């Protein structure tokens, strides 16, 4: 082989070696980023317990509000029944008079 024929092969080899070095650098950067990400997310979000407590508090508050609404409905129904009874009594008194 002549030296001119070796030059394209050598430049191809040099290019491939350079690309290999670049890929190794990129791989190492990716590994470092992955390690940093794993370290940063090693545990659950610290706000998780606080948010779970808030959800539980809101559930209790909702249950209390529903209970209050039921009591108010019952009171309303009792008042309505009382008003209807009073109106009937007034109508009976008017009819008797």
Q: To the nearest 10°, the Cα dihedral for 20, 25, 26, 29?
A: 160
Report how far residue 31's alpha carbon sits from residue 25's, in angstroms, rounded to the nearest whole number. 10
pLDDT of residue 40: 74
Element (H, E) at 60: helix 48-96
Tens digit of pLDDT for each residue in 12-46? 889 899 999 999 999 999 999 988 888 776 667 77
Tens digit of pLDDT for each residue in 84-94? 999 999 999 98
Q: What is the DSSP letter of 42?
A: S
Q: Model confidence at 95, in pLDDT bands (50, 70, 90)?
A: confident
């Amino acid at each position: 082989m002549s030296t001119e024929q070796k030059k394209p092969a050598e430049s191809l080899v040099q290019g491939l070696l350079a690309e290999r070095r670049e890929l190794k650098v990129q791989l190492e950067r990716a590994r470092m980023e992955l390690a940093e990400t794993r370290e940063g997310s090693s545990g659950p979000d610290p706000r998780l317990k606080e948010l779970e407590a808030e959800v539980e508090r809101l559930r209790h508050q909702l249950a209390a509000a529903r209970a209050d609404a039921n009591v108010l409905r019952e009171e309303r129904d009792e008042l309505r029944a009382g008003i209807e009874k009073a109106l009937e009594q007034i109508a009976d008194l008017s009819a008797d008079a």
